[in-house]
Structure 1
Amino acid sequence: MTELDLVIDDLNAVFGSITGETSLSEVRQKLETLFGTGVLDPAVDHRRVTFGAVDGELMTVRDAKSEGAILYLHGGGYALCSVNSHRDMCERLAHAAGSAVLCVEYRLAPEHPFPAALDDALAGYVWLLDQGYEPDSIAIAGDSAGGGLALATLLAIRDRHLPRPACGVLLSPWADLELKGASIRSRASIDPIATEAALRNWAICYVPDGKLANPYVSPLHGDFTGLPRLLVQVGEREILFDDATGIVARAQDAGVDAVLQSFDGQIHVFQIFGPRLAAARAAIKDIGIFIRQAFNAAPGGTMDSADRGLSVT
């Protein structure tokens, strides 16, 4: 068996144990156990910080030279996961980019429906600005629902006339809660994580009034004009594949410098399995390259794909 096969076996065991009788709190705990390592990187300082109605964890690599920061928004269908489940990946991003990472513990649905998560993400961005981080040294990143939230945050930053960050990084983004992409059905048989039924359930938890076309809910429907450069990573076995490709296409049509990386044979948010998957470690290395280059690029400039050092598709 390959290392990915072993990961998928573990995913199947956890998801197979979830039934209609499993409580939301139990589902949350199962995913915390699945994704969280419970081990702190001794080379990274961890500090709990508070902003607005929420808090987060600021992770900084000791002796890092960069003065930049990544605002990280974890995935989990807007209802699951936390800093604990995503800490290992955030630590790896901090090393790769040589930057601090603020992982936002945004409020979860259904207890806190839209726009709570977006409000908390914006509060995290403003907190970074208030700490003295320059906007052109801040990246907004996230995975799955957090990837969609990161894109929505970029739209809201622009619309509220806040300083534009350097870039956005979206991992397996869920950016269309209406689920209109053809890959929702065409790739259903090869995606071992996400299902259409589960996504529809989480969508209604997050947006109980069903107004899913709102661009702050489904940012794939938004106007991308004026957004910063974007990196989008996606696994080829994802039902959300069309969300990723759609974002890049719409961004490029709007004049945004956007890059798509599609990883052969990989699954939804495979990057979270850094301790187990070589592909995850390679993808995070690429994210670090992209962010470092974005921080060093002239404001509003573009980076030649050939000079990025990325395996671009």
Structure 2
Amino acid sequence: MTTQTTTGTQDKLRDLYTEWSQLMADYPTMNMRLFRAVFDEWHQPTTEPENVTYREDVVGGVPGIWCLPEGADESQVLLYTHGGGFAVGSSFSHRKLAGHVAKALGAVSFVLDYRRAPEHPHPAQVEDGVAVFEALVDSGIDPKNITTIGDSAGGNLAIAIALSLKEQGKPLPGQVIAFSPWLNMENDGKTLETNLDTDALITPQLLEGMIAGVLGDKIDPTTPLANPLYGDYEGFPRIYINAGSVECLRDNAEQLHERATAAGVDSTLNIAEGQQHVFTFNAGNSDVADEEIARLADWYRQGR
């Protein structure tokens, strides 16, 4: 199912992306430490969710931050993998967004600080996600009550974690959520061209550098756990996918929906009209983002 939403009155996220793009153009030799510091500003368009507290923890050997909404069902866990091209972003940059989603869904969320590229290439990130999932199960959480969720590269990981568990014959999460997932490691998607003038952040050149960092020259870009567009979706959990209509990665979401649906998966896709990459970062500042999270909450409850 594909639905459309209308453009909101504010887009602080687009403004932030425009600033980042100018910074990257002005300082093309920016080192990784500064690059990561810039992307830790990702939380700025997001309001602080009310009645949500945070706690640092280590789960399955992986550090991260718990988002704990007041009154949430702690048996329902969102395993959140942050975006950032596998190289930047953090639990800090994403905690507010994860808090908004957890509050709306009535669950708790653990935002992973998985190992990042280029220091730790693929499949380190997938392995960390699987380790957290298994630790949650070992702690008594029903696998069906765990949702893998992420945005951009983290949306890739939310899918890849479930694919890895499936390959190993292990219990799967109850559902998967992917915000603007970045899946195509071959870097040849059609909307990379058609939406290049409307996306305030993503370019083929930016993605090329991220791919080089996580895959290097040894990993085939069609490897399913790196590029879930090549994954086997038979028996995969129900999945919710979204993207902005003007972003360069729009077709990644559409192709994933097509392939999952063809495999018999209960897949829901929403393309939000006029919206940028991971538009839910505008939570609390945009009706579009807030309505999308409410729509996601309805979808989540229908599957319980």
Report the Cα offset of residue 38 of structure 1: 10
* Aligned partner (choices 112, 130, 144) of residue 152 of structure 2: 144
The structure, 1 or 2, with the larger RCO (C-alpha pairs under 8 Å, 6+ apart) is: 2
2:5 corresponds to which residue? none
Map 1:44-193; keep pairs closer than 5 Å.
Answer: 44-65=52-73, 67-193=75-201
Report the Cα offset of residue 105 of structure 1: 0.7
Contact 1:231–1:259 (Cα < 8 Å) also in 2 = yes
1:223 corresponds to which residue? 232
Of residues 149-158 and 271-280 in structure 1, the stretch that sits farther from structure 2 once superposed is 271-280
Counterpart of 2:258 in structure 1: which amino acid?
A
Map 1:247-258; keep pairs closer than 5 Å.
Answer: 247-258=256-267
1:8 corresponds to which residue? 14
Report the Cα offset of residue 216 of structure 1: 0.4
Of residues 106-115 and 37-46 in structure 1, the stretch that sits farther from structure 2 once superposed is 37-46
Report the Cα offset of residue 17 of structure 1: 1.3
* TM-score w.r.t. length of structure 2: 0.91
SS at match of 2:232: coil
* Aligned partner (choices 271, 278, 297) of residue 269 of structure 1: 278
Q: For structure 2, list consecutive stretches of 5 or more residues without a partner in the other structure.
A: 1-7
Of residues 177-186 and 87-96 in structure 1, the stretch that sits farther from structure 2 once superposed is 177-186
* Aligned partner (choices 224, 228, 234) of residue 243 of structure 2: 234
Percent identity of equivalent pairs: 30
SS at match of 2:193: helix
Report the Cα offset of residue 109 of structure 1: 0.4
Contact 1:4–1:277 (Cα < 8 Å) also in 2 = yes
Contact 2:83–2:153 (Cα < 8 Å) also in 1 = yes
Of residues 241-250 and 127-136 in structure 1, the stretch that sits farther from structure 2 once superposed is 127-136
Distance 2:294 2:146 in 1: 18
Inter-CA distance 285–268: structure 2 relative to 1 (3 Å threshold): same
Residues 32-58 of structure 1, C-alpha deviations (whole Å, 9 max, x = no match) = 124257986562232222134421122
Q: 1:26 and 2:22 equivalent?
A: no
SS at match of 2:19: helix
Contact 2:46–2:283 (Cα < 8 Å) also in 1 = no
2:4 corresponds to which residue? none
2:206 corresponds to which residue? 198
Report the Cα offset of residue 31 of structure 1: 1.5
Inter-CA distance 166–239: structure 2 relative to 1 (3 Å threshold): same
Counterpart of 1:247 in structure 2: which amino acid?
L
SS at match of 1:189: coil
Distance 1:213 1:64 in 2: 39
Contact 2:21–2:200 (Cα < 8 Å) also in 1 = no
Q: For structure 1, list consecutive stretches of 5 or more residues without a partner in the other structure.
A: 297-313
Counterpart of 2:205 in structure 1: which amino acid?
A
